[in-house]
């Protein structure tokens, strides 16, 4: 039996920049998924502690991607792809157990696919190495599940380091740990899971992605990453579609915010990153239009309660908000979010603190 653990992640800044070949700055969380792989007599069985029924693929083998419940394709997907890659996959039983809330923007999906990929690599002696693991876990989500995500989540889950955020260049998939330890500055990173139901998130995500690709085509660049802040006004003037102009402005300014936050963290100026986080939220709300009333309310409440900066994290349309808060104000800031939600008639949010932890590993 082989067991791996892979974490969920928080993205500190750089939202919807990954599929534009841009920059992101996620960190791995303490919470995550563990995956156990063991030999079986026949067939391929996947079990999740978070799902009622196991799923077994038997007679059809792995050549046909039989119709399975959505969650099981995140696990079987790795087997289908390995089979396609020419690996002779023996009968297996794979059991997963995760404490990452699903659909909350903390990337339960990357925790799941990365823990499974790591355990399979280890168990079958595939020797995938760091790049192969990243490639397999990205393809599981993009090709086997069919989610048009940009690859940041798997990178964060695989390569995260304790006490650090991970500065990633999503064009060449290189990454570098950057010190991120709020406690050393008397701060905490507060997370408010709004538990807002995702509204049309898949279709809206795809629409943003294809809009960005259309804009890059119209501007004659490979990806929006190639438009610099100096070029921005020119680029905007060349687009006559107001929606695409807003998308371009978000992506170009968001890439720039990632670079400025990384610069500050490298200089040991963590408390100074607040304004860039808040500006990122405004850009997601006003230009990219991926926020919902619950996340806007949580951000306002955190800022009113003394947060140095606050923003939604993750793909949007619900999910979590993060705030950089002085340690002494953390309790009051959590209370402020809960009170604002009660006033607005929203359900109760889940508020907790998070520190950066290590990425995927044998467990
Ligand atoms: P997020 O990654 O932000 O949590 P996604 O929509 O990308 O949201 O992924 C959530 C999906 O991942 C769930 O709907 C489910 O299909 C799958 N998933 C995540 N964790 C588990 C788990 N422990 N067991 C079964 N399926 C899971
Ligand atoms: Mg996900």
pLDDT tens for residues 27-75?
A: 999 999 999 999 999 999 999 999 999 999 986 788 888 889 999 999 9
Q: Which atom of ligand 1 is nearest to the CA of 70?
A: 16
Distance (Å) of CA 227 to CA 224, 241, 251, 277, 315? 5, 17, 9, 21, 22
Q: Which of 78, 112, 147, 321 to mutate to test the pocket of ligand 1 (most atoms within 8 A of CB)?
A: 112
Look at residue 198 in the predicted model and tell me its pLDDT. Answer: 73
Beta bridge partners of 164: 179
Torsion of CA 295, 297, 302, 304, to 10 degrees: 160
- In the reported structure, the alpha carbon of residue 258 is separated from the centroid of ligand 2 by a whole-number distance in angstroms of 21
Region 294-308: what's the mean pLDDT?
A: 98
What tokens were used for 104?
């909350």
Kindly report the CA angle at 161 between 223 and 128, in degrees rounded to 5? 70
Residue 254 phi/psi, 5-degree rounding, is -70, -40
Look at residue 60 in the predicted model and tell me its pLDDT. Answer: 72
322 and 310 Cβ atoms separated by less than 8 Å: yes
Band (197; pLDDT cuts 50, 70, 90): confident
Active site residue ranges: 153
Region 116-142: what's the mean pLDDT?
A: 97
Rounded Cα gap, residues 318 and 104, in angstroms: 7
Ligand number nearest to the C-alpha of 319: 1
Rounded Cα gap, residues 254 and 167, in angstroms: 14
- In the reported structure, the alpha carbon of residue 259 is separated from the centroid of ligand 1 by a whole-number distance in angstroms of 30
Q: Which of 107, 108, 137 to mutate to test the pocket of ligand 1 (most atoms within 8 A of CB)?
A: 108
- In the reported structure, the alpha carbon of residue 325 is separated from the centroid of ligand 1 by a whole-number distance in angstroms of 29
Band (195; pLDDT cuts 50, 70, 90): very high
Look at residue 203 in the predicted model and tell me its pLDDT. Answer: 86
Rounded mean pLDDT of the chain? Answer: 96
Q: Is residue 112 predicted with pLDDT exceeding 70?
A: yes
> How far is Cα of residue 85 from the mean position of the Cα atoms in its chain?
26
Q: Is 103 touching ligand 1 by the criterion CB < 6 Å?
A: yes
Rounded Cα gap, residues 360 and 107, in angstroms: 13
Percent residues over pLDDT 90 in the chain: 93
* Domains, the chain: 2-180 (3.30.230.10), 182-354 (3.30.70.890)
Output the pTM of the full model.
0.95
Rounded Cα gap, residues 282 and 287, in angstroms: 8
């Amino acid at each position: 039996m082989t067991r791996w653990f892979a974490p969920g992640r928080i993205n500190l800044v750089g939202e919807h920049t990954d599929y534009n070949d841009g920059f992101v700055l996620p960190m791995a969380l303490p919470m995550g998924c563990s995956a156990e792989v063991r030999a079986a007599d026949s067939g391929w069985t996947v079990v999740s502690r978070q799902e009622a029924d196991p799923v077994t693929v038997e007679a059809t083998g792995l050549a046909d991607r039989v119709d399975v419940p959505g969650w099981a394709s995140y696990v079987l997907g790795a087997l289908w792809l390995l089979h396609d890659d020419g690996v002779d996959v023996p009968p297996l039983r794979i059991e997963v157990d995760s404490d990452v809330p699903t659909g909350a923007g903390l990337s339960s999906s990357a925790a799941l696919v990365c823990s499974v990929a790591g355990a399979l690599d280890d168990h079958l002696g595939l020797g995938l190495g760091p790049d192969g693991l990243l490639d397999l876990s990205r393809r599981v989500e993009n090709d086997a599940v069919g989610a048009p995500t940009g690859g940041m989540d798997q990178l964060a889950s695989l390569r995260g380091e304790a006490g650090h955020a991970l500065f990633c260049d999503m064009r060449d998939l290189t990454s570098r740990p950057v010190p991120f330890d709020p406690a050393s500055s008397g701060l905490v990173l507060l997370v408010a899971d709004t538990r807002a139901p995702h509204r049309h998130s898949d279709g809206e995500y795809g629409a943003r992605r294809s809009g960005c690709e259309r804009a890059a085509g119209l501007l004659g660049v490979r990806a929006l990453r190639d438009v610099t802040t100096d070029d921005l006004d020119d680029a905007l003037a060349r687009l006559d579609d107001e929606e695409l102009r807003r998308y371009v402005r978000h992506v170009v300014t968001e890439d720039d915010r990632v670079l400025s936050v990384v610069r500050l963290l490298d200089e040991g100026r963590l408390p100074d990153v607040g304004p860039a986080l808040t500006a990122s939220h405004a850009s997601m709300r006003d230009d990219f239009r991926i926020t919902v009333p619950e996340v806007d309310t949580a951000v306002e409440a955190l800022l009113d309660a003394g947060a140095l900066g606050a923003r939604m994290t993750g793909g949007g349309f619900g999910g979590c908000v993060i705030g950089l808060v002085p340690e002494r104000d953390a309790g009051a800031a959590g209370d402020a979010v809960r009170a604002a939600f009660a006033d607005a008639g929203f359900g109760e949010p889940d508020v907790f603190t998070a520190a950066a932890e290590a990425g995927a590993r044998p467990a």
